[in-house]
Structure 1
Amino acid sequence: MSRKTELSRRGKSFTADHKPLMGEAPEVRGFYLGCGFNSAGMMLGGGCGRELAHWIIHGRPEKDMYGYDIRRFHNSLTDNTRWIRQRSHESYAKNYSVVFPFDEPLASRNMRKDPFHQVLTEQGCVFQERHGWERPGWFTMDGPAPVKDYDYYGAYDIKKNVNYKYNILLGKEYTFDFPPHHDVIKNECLTCRHGVAVFDMSYFGKFYLSGPDAKKAADWLFTADVNKKPGDAYYLAIGGGVAEHNWNHIRTVLQDQGFHCHLTDHSEDMGMISIQGPKSREVLQEVLDTDLSNEAFPFSTHKVVNAAGHQVRAMRLSFVGELGWELHIPKDSCLPVYHAVMAAGAKHGIINSGYRAIDSLSIEKGYRHWHADLRPDDTPLESGLGFTCKLKSSIPFQGRDRLEKQKEEGLRRRIVCFTIDEKVPMFGLEAVFRNGTPVGHLRRSEYGFFIDKTIGYGYIRNPAGGVVSADFIKSGEFTLEKMGVTYEAKAHLKSPFDPENKRIKGIYA
């Protein structure tokens, strides 16, 4: 066999999401990966090699490499042969496919399902896959659209799925315009704004931090003041897509700092539903055995209560900008509690809503999304989250010295909210211009149905290298460019929706 023939027969490496595998292996400290470049090694090798060297020396890359970080995958998936085989195959099969904003994989689905999965499937849930979990995307009115076993697109003599409703629904969303189910998601959003909606958020990571040094560890790990008695435990609810990354980061910090405490994972043991909207208090007051008034149950507090005879942890929080509570529920109690909530909410027009609605509602309120509005190379001050940092206290925390220096010197970039009046879809990466000069790009964009405008968030810089002050933003004329078309935009220093935070306090007058 000639050398040329031998080379031509060698296979290419394709990873589960068509991106390289980089960073410190979760299983072995000090063992770093730099592989799986999906036939793009020569193109990516130089930059990735530089970042990997910085990663090894300093413990983290200089640039945002989260999309390549091996910790983006949950450990239960990377050890699963079916997940690896199917996802790697689909990655290769779609190597040259156009990447549409709302595409979802067909391979390696139903790997992680929460207790609500079957009942939501029966109610028309169109699921998204995140971190192996099936999480609700949106709800079709045309009956169940279950995710089927992967058919390898008919390859290897495997019978191709026919009349595959879920795949048909995905195909209809292959567009850079508003998707055909735009009005369905609008209804989910506006029902939440005017009435009450239930969101299944069970894919969240649910960790307990406990032990004699738990308070010391929490003080160092978290920018906010989490004042508790020494020795008390902390319950951490973390976005599911970043749960593995957070898990490994926290464990690394505990080890490096020598804290005597334990981190335990209960993500699979609990479900989580969020009941949000002006009528949420009326609904939950029939289900929970506690007073839900503002005085008895203020915002950003939690209690262990009974719900329909089952013990749950109720948290008065919101990621959509409305009055609402999260219920963190033991697995075996999930369905009885869910059915009790839906029964109590029936007379109020309660509906199920998904993460497509959360994406719209959260950007409307100005709440940040990980790896869109927030990345590893952003600081809390740049991202408008300085209020979450205990800088007025004397408590040390990781990165405090950097924040104090940045606060003193002024921000050279900062996140800004933009709205446009034209009803056009944007998805992120659109260029931002100030007075005709490019100053950044959108990180994330969605349509805000309540304010009836396209909303985008992006970080901007001062082209002269100076501080990006409030006056710099107010004095500029901004435009956004999408696919060669320019749109006039209005810049906002605060969210254009409920900037005084009245609704989360239950003030709707």
Structure 2
Amino acid sequence: LPLSTSRGTGSFTPDHKPLMGEAPELRGFYLGCGFNSAGMMLGGGCGQELAHWIVHGRPEKDMYSYDIRRFHPLLTDHRRWVRERSHESYAKNYSVVFPHDEPLAGRNMRTDPLHEELLARGCVFQERQGWERPGWFTPQGTAPVLQYDYYGAYGNRAHRDYAYGRLLGDEYTFDFPPHHDVIKKECLACRGAAAVFNMSYFGKFYLVGLDAKKAADWLFSADVSRPPGDGYYLAVGGAVAQHNWAHISAVLQDEKFRCQLINSSEDLGMISVQGPASRAILQEVLDADLSNEAFPFSTHKLLRAAGHLVRAMRLSFVGELGWELHVPRPACVPVYQAVMTAGAKHGLVNAGYRAIDSLSIEKGYRHWHADLRPDDSPLEAGLAFTCKLKSDVPFLGREALEKQRAKGLRRRLLCFTVDEKVPMFGLEAIWRNGQVVGHIRRADFGFTIDKTLAYGYIRDPSGGPVSLDFVKSGDYALERMGVTYPAQAHLKSPFDPDNKRVKGIY
């Protein structure tokens, strides 16, 4: 491996992380480059993992953040995005990484049809794989993301009185951010009335063809067989959509399934209406009976919304009664406006992903690469119910899960709550009976239960299985910046553990 030195030319990638793994455009061609002048520090471990990757088809450790498949071709083929983001990653090489920071470079690359509509309503955007998605809504007016100013370098004039930059700067803290109360209002409005979330940045794929059912049975651990079984619609978080696309495409090729994956991500928007008032609101917009009997949880229908054909799914990622509307791009604005008009008398508010982060952790819904990583298993994560192990249908990873179940779990994902109102963000140490047994993967503040929530995997220091008795018999504390705080461990979500709200029972 080439070694970086303090002199000479260094390579910087758009997110300041190496490029590793199999190139999706050319199977069998692996990358191990882009070390951002940190080759001496990263070379040994990355070389070992890359060797394992080549031999076994996957790395042994979690290398997701370095995986070349994290980048969408729309971005890597765009010279402005590469130039701007690579410059900013170099400029911020030694900057403190704050929990809610966002890039200023390479912005507004991928915007959905509701972008201008939400910007006018005070949306403060986050960037995920080029997409601009709603972060939260400021009552202070509009905060558009301006063209990158290179921080005043190369003869560029630095922006003056930059509202978006100022809002970001206000969040450069490891305390609760100054907008904590604004996000609280979005969360409590969702729990008490209703909130609308623009999730249009999601990847939307169709899996179709002669072997679509065989492919779905093999790809997905859950039983997704439904009549007539000739096609599947996949909605995937926009930040991981390209990685999912590349993974599924590779499996289809390796297994020689006679089917194809069609990408409709840019063609469809996704509007989610959640909360106890969502049924009353959407009943005025959709031409269908939305009762529990007529439209049960986890089902979908093709319906008309304000005269436009949409796919309505009764799902929730925040733990409330709610529906997702998957809408053709030209219809997004009129459907959104119809929802807002119908919701005005019900207390409907706009909300963003900062609220989703809080609401979802409060409900115990898992986040990819926080609660779930490539080196975690569904059994360890408490997701055994998503695996069709009681059937005899083979699926990718089944043998590994059966072996793990037979041996017993050596670690387990737990929920923790802390009564003291202290911010946590992840990587805090988990103490049990005076010993460190793991670290927090994800943490946030739950406004409904009015406590800090955190999720992390624990191990038994003796190396034995982590039994339920082991979990229940411990006294726990979480360590933040050298200070430990008493914590309570939960095997179920402390909010609505019986899942009544998603069933419309309030």
TM-fit CA distance, 1:183: 0.1
Q: 1:15 aligns with which of 13, 16, 24?
A: 13
Partner of 1:324: 322
Once residues 455 and 111 of structure 1 are traced to their aligned partners in structure 2, the CA distance between those partners, rounded to angstroms, is 34
Partner of 1:3: none
Partner of 1:67: 65
**Residues 425 and 454 of structure 1 are in contact (CA less than 8 Å); yes or no, is this contact kept in structure 2?**
yes
**Residues 71 and 248 of structure 1 are in contact (CA less than 8 Å); yes or no, is this contact kept in structure 2?**
yes
One-letter identity of the residue aligned with 1:305:
L
TM-fit CA distance, 1:231: 5.8
SS of aligned partner of 1:71:
helix
Partner of 1:383: 381
Partner of 1:4: none
Normalised to the residue count of structure 1, the TM-score between the two structures is 0.98
Partner of 2:267: 269
Q: 1:45 aligns with which of 43, 46, 55?
A: 43
Offset from partner CA, 1:58-91 (integer Å, 9 cap, x none)? 1100000001001111111111110100000000
Once residues 97 and 308 of structure 1 are traced to their aligned partners in structure 2, the CA distance between those partners, rounded to angstroms, is 48
Change (3 A) 1:93 1:346: same
Partner of 1:374: 372
Once residues 228 and 371 of structure 1 are traced to their aligned partners in structure 2, the CA distance between those partners, rounded to angstroms, is 29
**Residues 22 and 35 of structure 1 are in contact (CA less than 8 Å); yes or no, is this contact kept in structure 2?**
yes
Partner of 1:173: 171
Partner of 1:305: 303
Once residues 287 and 151 of structure 2 are traced to their aligned partners in structure 1, the CA distance between those partners, rounded to angstroms, is 51
Partner of 1:430: 428
TM-fit CA distance, 1:228: 3.0
Once residues 56 and 82 of structure 1 are traced to their aligned partners in structure 2, the CA distance between those partners, rounded to angstroms, is 32
Q: In the alignment, does 2:437 pair up with 1:439?
A: yes
Once residues 448 and 224 of structure 2 are traced to their aligned partners in structure 1, the CA distance between those partners, rounded to angstroms, is 34
Q: 2:200 aligns with which of 181, 199, 202?
A: 202
Q: 1:472 aligns with which of 470, 473, 477?
A: 470
Q: In the alignment, does 2:482 pair up with 1:450?
A: no
Q: 1:152 aligns with which of 146, 150, 160?
A: 150
**Residues 213 and 230 of structure 1 are in contact (CA less than 8 Å); yes or no, is this contact kept in structure 2?**
no
Once residues 236 and 383 of structure 2 are traced to their aligned partners in structure 1, the CA distance between those partners, rounded to angstroms, is 17
SS of aligned partner of 1:499:
coil
The total of aligned residue pairs comes to 502
One-letter identity of the residue aligned with 1:427:
F
Once residues 212 and 6 of structure 2 are traced to their aligned partners in structure 1, the CA distance between those partners, rounded to angstroms, is 56
Q: 1:396 aligns with which of 394, 397, 422?
A: 394
Once residues 153 and 436 of structure 1 are traced to their aligned partners in structure 2, the CA distance between those partners, rounded to angstroms, is 47
One-letter identity of the residue aligned with 1:413:
R
Once residues 489 and 356 of structure 1 are traced to their aligned partners in structure 2, the CA distance between those partners, rounded to angstroms, is 24
Once residues 413 and 474 of structure 1 are traced to their aligned partners in structure 2, the CA distance between those partners, rounded to angstroms, is 14
One-letter identity of the residue aligned with 2:395:
F
Once residues 75 and 446 of structure 1 are traced to their aligned partners in structure 2, the CA distance between those partners, rounded to angstroms, is 32
One-letter identity of the residue aligned with 1:146:
P
Partner of 1:225: 223
TM-fit CA distance, 1:119: 0.4
**Residues 254 and 261 of structure 1 are in contact (CA less than 8 Å); yes or no, is this contact kept in structure 2?**
yes
SS of aligned partner of 1:255:
helix
SS of aligned partner of 1:268:
coil
**Residues 213 and 231 of structure 1 are in contact (CA less than 8 Å); yes or no, is this contact kept in structure 2?**
no
**Residues 210 and 231 of structure 1 are in contact (CA less than 8 Å); yes or no, is this contact kept in structure 2?**
no
Once residues 387 and 352 of structure 1 are traced to their aligned partners in structure 2, the CA distance between those partners, rounded to angstroms, is 33
TM-fit CA distance, 1:404: 1.1
Once residues 469 and 417 of structure 1 are traced to their aligned partners in structure 2, the CA distance between those partners, rounded to angstroms, is 15
Offset from partner CA, 1:306-336 (integer Å, 9 cap, x none)? 0000000000000000000000000000001
One-letter identity of the residue aligned with 2:111:
K
One-letter identity of the residue aligned with 1:338:
Y
One-letter identity of the residue aligned with 1:362:
S
TM-fit CA distance, 1:407: 1.2
Partner of 2:239: 241
Offset from partner CA, 1:289-315 (integer Å, 9 cap, x none)? 010000000000000000000000000
Which stretch shows the higher mean deviation, 228-237 or 443-452?
Answer: 228-237
Normalised to the residue count of structure 2, the TM-score between the two structures is 0.98
Once residues 229 and 32 of structure 1 are traced to their aligned partners in structure 2, the CA distance between those partners, rounded to angstroms, is 40
Partner of 1:130: 128
SS of aligned partner of 1:457:
strand
Once residues 471 and 201 of structure 1 are traced to their aligned partners in structure 2, the CA distance between those partners, rounded to angstroms, is 40
Partner of 2:96: 98
Once residues 6 and 221 of structure 2 are traced to their aligned partners in structure 1, the CA distance between those partners, rounded to angstroms, is 53
TM-fit CA distance, 1:415: 0.1
One-letter identity of the residue aligned with 1:212:
L
TM-fit CA distance, 1:229: 4.4
TM-fit CA distance, 1:47: 0.3
SS of aligned partner of 1:278:
coil
Once residues 222 and 299 of structure 2 are traced to their aligned partners in structure 1, the CA distance between those partners, rounded to angstroms, is 15
Once residues 199 and 130 of structure 1 are traced to their aligned partners in structure 2, the CA distance between those partners, rounded to angstroms, is 16
Once residues 231 and 414 of structure 1 are traced to their aligned partners in structure 2, the CA distance between those partners, rounded to angstroms, is 35
Q: For 1:206-217, what aligned pairs fall within 5 Å after superposition?
A: 206-217=204-215
One-letter identity of the residue aligned with 1:147:
V
TM-fit CA distance, 1:409: 1.4
One-letter identity of the residue aligned with 1:300:
S
TM-fit CA distance, 1:96: 0.8
Once residues 289 and 209 of structure 1 are traced to their aligned partners in structure 2, the CA distance between those partners, rounded to angstroms, is 28
Partner of 2:139: 141
Once residues 154 and 24 of structure 2 are traced to their aligned partners in structure 1, the CA distance between those partners, rounded to angstroms, is 34
**Residues 215 and 229 of structure 1 are in contact (CA less than 8 Å); yes or no, is this contact kept in structure 2?**
no
Partner of 2:482: 484
Once residues 469 and 48 of structure 2 are traced to their aligned partners in structure 1, the CA distance between those partners, rounded to angstroms, is 37
One-letter identity of the residue aligned with 1:249:
H
Once residues 132 and 210 of structure 1 are traced to their aligned partners in structure 2, the CA distance between those partners, rounded to angstroms, is 27
SS of aligned partner of 1:250:
helix
TM-fit CA distance, 1:408: 1.6
Once residues 496 and 282 of structure 2 are traced to their aligned partners in structure 1, the CA distance between those partners, rounded to angstroms, is 23
Structure 2: runs of 5+ lacking an equivalent: none
SS of aligned partner of 1:447:
strand
TM-fit CA distance, 1:10: 2.4
SS of aligned partner of 2:266:
helix
Once residues 178 and 268 of structure 2 are traced to their aligned partners in structure 1, the CA distance between those partners, rounded to angstroms, is 34
Moved over 4 A (4+): none
TM-fit CA distance, 1:449: 0.2
TM-fit CA distance, 1:470: 1.1
Once residues 398 and 368 of structure 2 are traced to their aligned partners in structure 1, the CA distance between those partners, rounded to angstroms, is 20
Once residues 469 and 8 of structure 1 are traced to their aligned partners in structure 2, the CA distance between those partners, rounded to angstroms, is 50
Q: 2:493 aligns with which of 492, 495, 498?
A: 495
SS of aligned partner of 2:35:
coil
One-letter identity of the residue aligned with 1:487:
Y
**Residues 138 and 353 of structure 1 are in contact (CA less than 8 Å); yes or no, is this contact kept in structure 2?**
yes
Identity of aligned residues (%): 75
Once residues 230 and 182 of structure 1 are traced to their aligned partners in structure 2, the CA distance between those partners, rounded to angstroms, is 47
Once residues 391 and 32 of structure 1 are traced to their aligned partners in structure 2, the CA distance between those partners, rounded to angstroms, is 34
**Residues 54 and 60 of structure 1 are in contact (CA less than 8 Å); yes or no, is this contact kept in structure 2?**
yes
**Residues 212 and 231 of structure 1 are in contact (CA less than 8 Å); yes or no, is this contact kept in structure 2?**
no
